[in-house]
Structure 1
Amino acid sequence: MKSYERDCNGKTFQSFLFFVVAQGEPQYFEVGTTLTLEPDVSTVPQPINTIRWKYGTGLVVDWDPSGHTYFGSFEGRTTLDPKTLQLVINRLTLADSGQFSLETNLGTVGTHEVKVINPPPTPSIKTQPLACDVSCALKCTADTTDLGPVSYEWKKDEGPWTEGVELKVMESSNTSEKFSCRLKTSVRTSKASIPKDNPLYKPVTGMSTLKGHIKLFGLQKALTYRIGFGKL
């Protein structure tokens, strides 16, 4: 089904959907970075006489052989290559999240769902409750506003990073001395937190030394008994 629209200059613009590119899962980008949308021009019907990129229902750029027209906040930080249909938007902001669509004089080429998120902050670890005895939890905390989906990774001492959850429950039998955590967004991983001491940690060396003292004390006592018994 075809439809016809008129732009602000009275030019008729034909619009109909014949295939969709990169529709479905959103593409994530960080604030301040560059967004590049480049359809496969080899699949786009020719000849192309007009190009229009939209953001939602608004316009990003309009092109015809007479030149480019950029709109709103996209002016001054956006470029369109009419040969490749490539759209480049610099200095992304949170307000740029949304659906971008490409139309030519022959129809709608495709749509791109874009999510702009903040860079992941460095998290910190808090103990819950503050005073631990038998068991407690470590919470990986950070401001996750406008980060999109977030996951967590934990590291024990100098071991490898493993996937986990925001809250890590510990028991008194845990022998790890320190814990570190970090955040993962759909774009990248944050820096690691400052290592947190395990409040339930009991040094293995201390336990071994204690056992050694007990064994030595028992051996000395036995020797004393045997020597004394021999003298009798």
Structure 2
Amino acid sequence: MEKLIGYFALSVAVLRATVTGDKVTDKYFEDGGSLELEVRPPHPETITNILWKCDGNLVAEWYDGSVELEYYGRYKGRTTLDKKTGLLVINQMTKNDTGLYSMEINSKVQNEIYRAILISRVPKPVVELRTKPCRDTSGSCKVSCEAYLIDARPVTYSWKIGDKDWEESEGKDRNITKTEIKGDKTITCKITNPISSDVSNPVDNSLFKEEINKETVGGIVLVSLVGVCVCWFVCGLVVVAIRKRRIRRIRI
């Protein structure tokens, strides 16, 4: 019965917001975390009374000179209300605290309505290769930023190629080209939601190939030639020395 009443109150609040043009803002929180709800825009006049509700149920109330600041029901002991600004802070949030929060300032209903939504922190993502095989001879490859996000949405995805800056992508997949990431050895992804973010371990870039410049090649060739010449010179000296010894023995 209580759930039906709650759903009815929520539906009425949403309908009211739709009809009156009130702004509904999503506010996310984690289990055991805090929720901060502010009056926007700041009230231009001196505040003399404040009333906060969740799905039509009283949360906090204060009337200057007539009603002392009071918190109701499950909000007692973990809620604070700033009488000067109207800011409401609720600690130790749980799933039972989800819903639509509305306020009245100086006996006037405000247009701002907050929808409190419970979400989880994002887990550590993993970069997975979608194009198989992906080699240094491939023109492009697709990679994906994977994580179990059933209770962590909404999320955004970002990619870091080598030491470059983070770049946000439209989804979890990203197509990388050989010309784009030339010289970059690693690929890293990041997932972010309204309460947290986490970064994957860097993975090797399959399109990367160590290139040896011409100067390096020339140096290697030169060193090799010098080495060969030295070897031949030493061998020649050894042969000459052996022949001289044989000639001496024959004369003796």
Give the shorter-chain TM-score range: 0.5 to 0.7
Distance 1:83 1:163 in 2: 39
1:153 lines up with 2:155 in the alignment: no
Distance 2:61 2:121 in 1: 31
Find the aligned partners of 2:175 and 2:44 in 1 and give their Cα distance: 54
User: Which consecutive unaligned segments of at least 5 residues does structure 2 have?
Assistant: 1-16, 226-252
Shift of 1:120: 3.0
SS of match in other structure, 2:199: coil
- Give the aligned partner of residue 113 of structure 1: 114
* Deviations, residues 12-37 of structure 1 (Å, cap 9, x unaligned): xxxxx9xx9x8344344455443333
Q: Could you tell which deviates more after superposition, 160-169 or 76-85? A: 76-85
Aligned length: 192
Select the residue among 202, 207, 214 that pairs with 1:200: 207
1:120–1:97 Cα change, 3 Å: same
Say whether 1:76 aligns with 2:77. Answer: yes
Q: Which residue of 1 aligns with 2:99?
A: 98
Change (3 A) 1:47 1:140: closer
Mapping for residues 148-227 of structure 1, pairs under 5 Å:
148-164=153-169, 165-171=171-177, 174-175=181-182, 176-187=184-195, 190-205=197-212, 208=213, 212=217
TM-superposed CA distance for 1:168, in Å, is: 1.8
TM-score (norm 2): 0.60
The answer as to whether partners of 1:99 and 1:111 remain within 8 angstroms in 2 is no
The whole-number CA distance in structure 1 between the counterparts of 2:37 and 2:134 is 52
3-state DSSP class of the match of 1:26? strand
Measured after TM superposition, the shift of residue 125 of structure 1 is 0.8
Residue in structure 2 matching 1:142, options 123, 126, 147:
147
Show the 5 A alignment for 1:31-110: 31-39=31-39, 40-43=42-45, 48=49, 51-63=50-62, 65-103=66-104, 106-110=107-111
TM-score, normalised relative to structure 1: 0.64
Separation in 2, partners of 1:105, 1:62: 11
Q: Secondary structure, in 3 states, of the residue corresponding to 1:201?
A: coil
SS of corresponding position for 1:158: coil
- Structure 1 residue ranges without an equivalent (≥5): 1-16, 221-232
CA root-mean-square deviation = 3.7
Query: What is the CA–CA distance in structure 1 between the aligned matches of 2:45 and 2:23, rounded to whole Å?
Result: 16
Letter in 1 for 2:124: T
Deviation string 1:2-53 (CA, Å, 9 cap, x unpaired) is: xxxxxxxxxxxxxxx9xx9x83443444554433334334437x754xx431
Contact 1:29–1:114 (CA<8 Å) still a contact in 2? no
Judge conservation of contact 1:123–1:142 (CA < 8 Å) in 2. Answer: yes
Supply the distance in 2 between the matched residues of 1:101 and 1:160 (Cα, whole angstroms).
40
Give, as a single letter, the amino acid of the residue that structure 2 aligns with 1:145: I
Return the alpha-carbon distance in structure 2 between the equivalents of residues 178 and 136 of structure 1.
14
Identity percentage of aligned residues? 30
